[in-house]
């Protein structure tokens, strides 16, 4: 199995969310089992995608956008949404923010409104990275699922932010030697 550096980007968010959802004891046991099974730690999601696509490893944990790009390239891979009969899988939505005090807030609001349109979500769903739309009824290609088509678990992203440094320190000590 390959895993992107667990203290960077969406992987740091994902792993911290697992700690919050599972509790420290069960999350530590999960990650210790990965380490004991010689999980391959690579630079990031793209490296995981490439290792799985080339057959170097049979499975990797990555974002769906990276997996969708491998599928678009014709790689013999598939996406598995874990824990569909139990915990569920984590969905990290794309995000956008308007910075307080920005010089052109109206332009920023118009851009945000554009991004949130169902038409934009459709365009992103049909893109190479096949983004998962949140609006119901958005037309998607057959290989793209909507968030309401998979079992997800709820995440308090503020709590994730509050614990990320602590969890990243633990995972860095466990995996990055």
* Inter-residue contact 43 to 60 (CB < 8 Å): no
d(CA 89, CA 102) in angstroms, rounded, equals 35
Q: Quick one: pLDDT band at residue 146, thresholds 50, 70, 90?
A: confident
pTM: 0.84
Query: What residue spans define the domains of the chain?
Result: 1-88+154-177, 92-149
Q: What whole-number percentage of the chain has pLDDT above 90?
A: 74
Q: Minimal CA–CA distance to 127: which of 71, 77, 51, 168? A: 71
Q: How confident is the model at residue 32, as a pLDDT?
A: 96
Q: Give the Cβ contact number of residue 73 at 10 Å.
A: 11
Q: Minimal CA–CA distance to 23: which of 161, 172, 163? A: 163
pLDDT tens for each residue of 17-76: 999 999 999 999 999 999 999 999 999 999 999 999 999 999 999 999 999 999 999 999
Tokens 């983004």, residue? 131
């Amino acid at each position: 199995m390959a895993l992107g550096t667990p203290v960077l980007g969406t992987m740091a968010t994902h792993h911290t969310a697992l700690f919050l959802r599972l509790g420290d004891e069960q999350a530590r046991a999960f990650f210790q089992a990965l380490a004991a099974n010689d999980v391959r730690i690579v630079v990031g999601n793209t490296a995981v995608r490439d290792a799985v696509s080339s057959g170097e490893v049979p499975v990797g944990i990555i974002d769906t956008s990276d997996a969708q790009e491998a599928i678009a390239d014709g790689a013999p891979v598939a996406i598995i949404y874990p824990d569909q009969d139990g915990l569920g899988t984590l969905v990290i939505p794309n995000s956008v923010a308007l910075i307080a005090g920005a010089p052109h807030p109206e332009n920023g609001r118009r851009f945000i409104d554009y991004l949130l349109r169902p038409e934009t979500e459709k365009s992103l769903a049909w893109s190479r990275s096949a983004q998962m739309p949140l609006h119901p009824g958005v037309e998607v290609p057959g290989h793209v699922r909507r968030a309401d088509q998979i079992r997800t678990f709820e995440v308090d992203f503020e709590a994730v932010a509050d614990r990320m440094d602590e969890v990243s320190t633990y995972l860095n000590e466990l995996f990055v030697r």
